[in-house]
Amino acid sequence: MSAYGARWLSEPYGPGGGGAAEGALRNLDATELDPLTLLVRESVQNSWDARTGDGPVDYRVELRTLGPSEAPVWRDLLSEGVPRADHLRLRSSLARPVLRILTVTDTGTRGLGGPTRADVAKPGESDFVSFVRKIGSSSDTNGRGGTYGFGKAVFHLVSASHTVLVHTRCRVGDRLETRLIGWAVHESYTTDVSGGAKTYTGRHYWGRPTDGYIEPLVGNEADEVAHRLGLRPFPDGGTGTTVAVIDPILGERGDDEAMRWISEAMVWNLWPKMLPEGGNAPMRFSVLHEGRAVPVPRPSETPHLRPFVWAYDDMSQLIEHKSMRRDLGRLGMRKFLAPAGPMPAAAREVGLGDRLHHTCLMRPVDLVVKYLEGPPFYEEQGGYAAVFRADPAMDRVFAATEPATHDDWLVDKLQNAEDHRLAKHALRKISDAMKEASGPASAVNQAGDGVSLAGMSQLLAGLMVGTAGEGAAAVFPTSGGATGGSGHVGGTGGAGGPGTTSVGHPGRTRGKQRVVYLGDPVHDVLDGQAVIVQRFTLPDPGAQTVHGRPSVALGDGQGSEGEPPLGASTPIVLGWRSDSGAITEGRALSTEGGDGVIWSLVVRPAPDTVTELVVLADPGQVSV
């Protein structure tokens, strides 16, 4: 017998029947989401629903290999009474030479409190029973993300043995109580026992046997066993829950890749909970691999996600059903120049393709349901992103449209005619807004200049390669290896055809410092406006003053204009961005060279022109 008499017991069917364990897993089969993504989505909903309201919820996912002093403890504690291999695969997991666990932890939550028996009811206190004992039970969805009890089965889905340990600390009356219980699901089965055959649900529990079923270890026993297993203790005076997935399935990914995927899945599925950035967000997320932190991207610094963040901050359009006098939700919409680079894999998984023309759907709990695709933007270099948040009064309606995995709104499943009409109308209004956004229209950037999006896309074809300018020696580390010169990539109205480049070699003028360009300029969006960004370094040591000299190329080999026509727009230097992300405003930058810092010249281009970029570096720091 293991410590404190803990052992496994398999759950038999009672006289009144019950649900088979495999039903919980099969309810997750309909989704195309990766199991690790599903784990993040479902577990965060559980964590958010269990928040105490006293502060932010801390949510952590950690993968670690059990050390030589820990693995034998797990094998010893979990081997007592373990079911046969054809009834549960835990034996083979425990026999692995290397045993790993994936833990999902939340704090700032109330833990799994309430009665530990499913046949005991205590109004308002059913967290333990709802999570551990019951399958498929619904709950009051007001202000909560979860509507089904099936989503929790994802913890078992990502375990090779379908086995987890649940470690929680909750409040019982005026005291804190720690609880620890093992829980596994597989397939229902029938076996011969004395007196005849007996059928089992396929659910198995590990803990203290009591009257033919399993109770969790509690109090000091639970704390001591959790410590022996190496599970992290909860903060002093704090409550929360850890679910330890035994022998996690990571697919064909390596461990590093799997944890990066979890990190990316967090940002694409949970980003509204990360806002506002800077410490005041309702949830804080972390990912650890063998004790090392895996960075979780910031939504505002994720190029393809950034437009949705802008739309989220601007949900000013009311979606309503006027004849029924019902507010359905609010919509924010932003148009933009398409971010450079490929779409991340985690974004593709949630329904985003090569271009952005989608609406992020969410209920009032601010958890992403799905990215609804609309018609593509009429210009290939442009796009739009929208966010729709359902009105609190409509939460019940939209919650009822969601499958067990909460990743869609299946409006036609609504039986109530009025609810169906309202939900259908909301989606139609969202579709109409996307259709309108996809067509030609003018946009106003935050500097106040009216710029047609068609003109922007023409401009993008005319982005300039960095040029040495008069007197500077520029080094291009990209193909061709030019060590100075000037050139441009022609666009509509510019010299040369799209994609052509010419580079001269004027050499280096005395007194000028070197500027090393890092690739060609790229388009980006800064604070809602289209910009051109040229990255560079200053290899020569010492104090230097760097100047940005953008100009408009005249085309047909005529160079660039010295003085723009009266009233014409001109490209403007907005500032200089260091590799830390900090922006220094002004046409000139005083800095030190030779330190390896990567700088970016940030320029707002003139519409419908070809912009030429020049970076000059003078020795010494001079007044500018």
- Alpha-carbon Rg for the chain, nearest whole angstrom, is 30
287 found inside a domain: yes
Let me know whether 46 and 89 are in one domain. Answer: yes
Specify whether the CB–CB gap between 572 and 604 falls below 8 A. yes
- For residue 152, give the CATH number of its domain: 3.30.565
Question: Residue 482 and residue 484: Cα distance in Å, rounded?
Answer: 6
pLDDT of 25 reads 60
Instruction: Check residue 414 and give its pLDDT.
Output: 96
Q: Are both 330 and 279 inside the same structural domain?
A: no
Share of the chain above pLDDT 90, in %: 57
Q: Are residues 126 and 225 in the same domain?
A: yes
Q: What is the pLDDT of residue 524?
A: 74
How far apart, in whole angstroms, are the C-alpha atoms of residue 102 and residue 41? 15
Same domain, 483 and 351: no
Give me the helix-helix angle, 219-229 and 71-79, nearest 10°: 130
> Within a domain: residue 410?
yes
Kindly state the helix (H) or strand (E) to which residue 191 belongs, with its residue range.
strand 189-193
Specify the pLDDT at position 458. 40
Choose the weakest-confidence range: 292-301, 573-582, 602-611.
602-611
**478 and 587 in one domain?**
yes
Residue type, 611: T
Q: For strand 196-210 and strand 7-12, is the pairing parallel, antiparallel, or unpaired?
A: antiparallel
The reported pLDDT for the residue numbered 19 is: 61
Same domain, 404 and 483: no
Residues 169 and 198 in one domain: yes
Based on the fold, state whether residues 390 and 250 are members of the same structural domain.
Answer: no
pLDDT of residue 564: 55
Total structural domains in the chain?
Answer: 3
- Reduced to 3 states (helix: H, G, I; strand: E, B; else coil), residue 524 is strand
CA 465 to CA 452: how far, in whole Å?
24
Which of 272, 296, 320 is the last residue in one of the domains? 296
- Read off the pLDDT of each residue in 18-46 and give the average, rounded to a whole number: 76
Residue 76 domain flag: yes
Q: pLDDT grade, residue 405 (50/70/90)?
A: confident
CA distance 504 to 483: 9
Last residue of a domain, one of 414, 439, 464: 439
Specify the pLDDT at position 494: 29
Task: Say whether both 496 and 427 belong to one domain.
Answer: no
At residue 506 the predicted structure's pLDDT band, cuts being 50, 70 and 90, is very low
Is residue 82 scored above 70 in pLDDT?
Answer: yes
Report which of 98, 467, 528, 105 is spatially closest to residue 306, judged by C-alpha positions.
528
Judge whether 534 lies within some domain.
Answer: yes
β pairing state of 529-537 and 514-517: antiparallel
**Is residue 624 one of the residues assigned to a domain?**
no
Q: Which parts of 216-316 are beta strand (E)?
A: 217-218, 240-246, 283-289, 292-294
Same domain flag for 396 and 509: no
pTM of the prediction?
0.72
Q: How many helices (H) and strands (E) does the chain have?
A: 13, 31
483 in the same domain as 352: no
- Average per-residue pLDDT in the chain? 82
pLDDT of residue 29: 58
Whether 445 is in a domain gets the answer no
What is the average pLDDT across 290-310?
A: 95
Q: Which residue has the tokens 């001591």?
A: 224
Decide if pLDDT at 283 tops 80: yes
Q: Is residue 301 part of a domain?
A: no
Last residue of a domain, one of 238, 265, 296: 296
Q: What is the mean pLDDT of residues 461-474?
A: 35
**Structural domain for 354, as ranges:** 306-439
pLDDT score of 477: 45
Please, which pLDDT band fits residue 149 given cuts at 50, 70 and 90?
low
Q: 324 φ, ψ to 5°?
A: -95, 0
Q: Does residue 110 have a pLDDT over 70? A: yes
Same domain, yes or no, for 345 and 266?
no
